[in-house]
Amino acid sequence: MTQRRWQQIMDIPLTVAAVIFLIAYAWEVIANLNGVPMLIAEIIIAVTWVVFVFDYAVNLVLAEHRWFWFRKHIFDLFVVVLPMLRPLRLLRLVTLLNVLQRRAGTAVRGGVLTYAVGSSLLLVFVAGLAILDTERSITGSQITNLGDGIWWAFVTITTVGYGDIYPATALGRVIAAGVMVAGIALLGVVTATLASWIVERVAAQDELSHVATRREVTELTDQVNQLKHVLLEHATQMAASSGTPAPSSPTSASGASDPLSKRQPLT
């Protein structure tokens, strides 16, 4: 079996595993589980983790150039290994981003924007969960429920940063750094999409001042070629009637069939 085939097969199972993992993790964090329910949640999370480890291992085995693949997918290794630290387990959800990207991939500009907004919403929710998980247990914590977590993530990703809530632990700050970077990227995507759209609307306003398109120039080239054809045929007839040899026509004939014939020297 090729690696490509394997990845196609695992596409849906990995997505399902990521969603199940997200639900189990959210349940554990929101309900602040203890005892048996927590054990159940942890087992579910462990199972989804096994799916990811298994997929990683099979990929490594099937890869044609193993060492090359290993180095190029070093981030996948982090996704598999890092989750030893509780909140970083959420890196596994990058799988969901891939699904989002595939859905958004058809349209170009709308696609980029949809992907950016969708990812941002997912990130706000997930970062809210992670920061709650990380910061809840410290004394004098500012984050005591999911509402606080999501509010904090929202204030951070929009770069507003009131400062009413901010992470106090090292791990919380790492999560915050991720959200901030996402915020700058989000701002960039929104602005860039709007800029592209406005530039286009301004250009579309005055129909006549449109830049010449490739199609128009190609059609013009066709006209010129037909003209050459007519002229050569005419020359041949003249030659026939007057007895002088006609200029070499085969080249120009092929030139007429190919709109952008690359400079055949016409004798």
CB of 141 to its own copies, least distance (A): 14
Output the smallest distance, CB 181 to its own copies, in A.
7
**Class of residue 119 by CB neighbours under 10 A (exposed 0-12, middle 13-18, buried 19+):** buried
Residue 91 in tokens? 């890196």
* Cβ closest to its own copies, residue 12 vs residue 217: 217
- Dihedral sign from CA coordinates of 51, 55, 61, 62: positive
Specify whether the backbone of 161 is left (phi greater than 0), alpha (psi in -120 to 50) or beta: left
CA 78 to chain centroid, in Å, comes to: 20
Q: Please, which residue, 2 or 257, has the CB nearer to its own copies? A: 257
Return the number of the residue (81 or 227) whose C-beta is nearest its own copies.
227
Provide the minimum distance between the beta carbon of 103 and its own copies in the complex, in angstroms, as a whole number. Answer: 17
Largest CA distance in the chain: 108
Spatial distance between the Cα atoms of 73 and 61, rounded to a whole number of angstroms: 13
- Of 2 and 209, which CB lies nearer to its own copies in the complex structure? 209
Q: How far is the CB of 225 from its own copies (least distance, A)?
A: 7
